Amino acid sequence: MSGTPLVLYGAGSQAYVLDEIVTSSGFQVEAILNDTEVPAGFALGVKVIEGRAAIDEWLKNASVGLHYAISIGAHHGEARSERHRLLRRSGLQPATLVHRTAWISKGAQIGEACQILAFAFVGTRARLGDAVILNTRASIDHECILGHGVHVGPSATVAGRVGIGDHTFIGTGASVCPDVTISANCIIGAGTVVTRSIHEPGTYVGSPARRIG
């Protein structure tokens, strides 16, 4: 079965995570770009275009309007945002991928190049920036505002009216209490409970959240 051609940027686990949702959204992976130090070779049965120089060359010949998704996960939100801007500037078209089991409330706003995975929830009047990942079963409640490149990990729960700054990563199963604000560039560890606002970038763990490192 063939679909609308799409290029993935990133040849690691997130490419495999996206494989099913890409296909079920009517796309077909035409090329994979990878600029990590370790060459990937092949991913998803596609030969990977390796290194920034080869990628720049490939982009010169890529068709304008070709769709893309950024398959860079974990706490690499800044890298995901940067690759999103690069491909956008090159004339490619961001695809926002939403799993068929995800629930997006009426009135929620979703940015460009977002990935909303299986059973994720987005509450009413929530706003997501660009290149956001809501992982499996992540829940973002009403009126939350998520910056660019935020990643909310599997089964993490973000209560209503929470603000999360650009590129912050919320670990698996973390909970964020209502009306809290979390600074940009934070890593919130797995299972952490954020009860008060976090104003400084850093890594936070535990219940209630405390800074480490």
Ligand X SMILES: CC(C)(COP(=O)(O)OP(=O)(O)OC[C@H]1O[C@@H](n2cnc3c(N)ncnc32)[C@H](O)[C@@H]1OP(=O)(O)O)[C@@H](O)C(=O)NCCC(=O)NCCS
Give the residue with the Cβ less far from ligand X, 65 or 213. 213
Near ligand X by CB under 6 A: residue from 6, 95, 187, 209: 187
First to last CA, the chain: 49
Near ligand X by CB under 6 A: residue from 74, 118, 177, 184: 74
Amino acid, single-letter form, for residue 181: T
Residue 10 lies near ligand X (rule: CB under 6 A): no
Local structure of 57: helix, strand or coil: helix
Give the closest residue to 94 by CA, choosing from 52, 65, 73.
65
Residues in the interface with ligand X (CB under 6 A) total: 17
Give the residue with the Cβ less far from ligand X, 51 or 173. 173
- The span from the CA of 164 to the CA of 170, in Å, is 9
Which residue's C-beta sits nearest to ligand X? 189
Contact by Cβ (8 Å): 6, 30: yes
Pair type for strands 27-34 and 169-170:
unpaired
Residue 178 lies near ligand X (rule: CB under 6 A): no
- The span from the CA of 26 to the CA of 71, in Å, is 17
Residue 203 lies near ligand X (rule: CB under 6 A): yes
Give the residue with the Cβ less far from ligand X, 19 or 30. 19
Q: Pick the stretch among 46-54, 97-105, 122-130, 200-208 that binds ligand X (CB under 6 A).
A: 200-208
Near ligand X by CB under 6 A: residue from 191, 193, 201, 202: 191
